Copies of this chain bind each other. A is one copy, B any other.
Amino acid sequence: MPKPPVRTPRRENSLSRERIIDVAIELLDARGEGGLTFRALAERLATGPGAIYGHITDKSDLLTAACDAIVARTLDQVPAGEAPADAIRAIALGMFDAIDAHPWVGSALSTAPGDLPVIRLMERLGQPLRELGVATQAQWSTVSVLLSYILGVAVQNAANAQFARATETDRSTYLGAVAAAWSSLDAAAYPFTRDVAPQLLAHDDRADFLAGVDLFLKGVAATAASRPVPTASR
């Protein structure tokens, strides 16, 4: 077998932005949001904390880059070419599952509003929204709404995951405690919350999330239907 041509001799495990981001993702997945530390990072990279600053500018830069890597991977795996409403559902669910697997992505997404991860997501959601007939001047506000909703769910999932990690309670006992607290609220002041507490126990986060996307799509459809027929560019 012929030997491969001699390449520029890359040092094994040399420090690079990519490798830093990979290790950061490992740490975040293994230890949660609080686990990403320059000292822990340096230890795993077998270097000093200062060396990292040669490749990243900031902790928030690092967090955004790690978040972007997950978002890019996730969106790549969502199949293209579906009907617009189904495409939106698929993208939204893909993000939900990604954030479920990497809860820290939820809070990372929220810290960088106009940055690359959000841009990627906006782009993928915007194209099917156009196909649904959203008026040109309403396209910004419509994606914004959908992005805010996805972000809101993401942040809540992140908060729940962090709370679970901090208190070492599992999901069902946690939900049980919250439902119990809600059920014992003052009946006159909190009738709705009391009534809805049992539903909290039985609910399915993923299904609820999808219900919100569907509600949004219904609203978009109702809005598109009620405005003058757009002259299709064919």
The yes or no answer to A30 lying at the interface (CB within 8 A) is no
Interface of A is mostly: helix
In the complex, which residues of chain B have a beta carbon less than 8 angstroms from the beta carbon of A195? 139
> Quick one: which of B119, B156, B199, B220 contacts A151, CB cutoff 8 A?
B156
* Pairwise interchain contact B141-A110, C-beta atoms closer than 8 A: no
A20 to chain B, nearest CB (A): 23
In the complex, which residues of chain B have a beta carbon less than 8 angstroms from the beta carbon of A212? 141, 144-145, 148-149
Number of interface residues of A (CB under 8 A): 60
* Pairwise interchain contact A113-B219, C-beta atoms closer than 8 A: no
**A-to-B contact residues, CB < 8 Å:** 110-114, 119, 122-123, 126-127, 130, 137-145, 147-153, 155-156, 159-160, 163, 178, 181-182, 185, 189-193, 195-196, 199-200, 203, 207-208, 211-212, 214-223
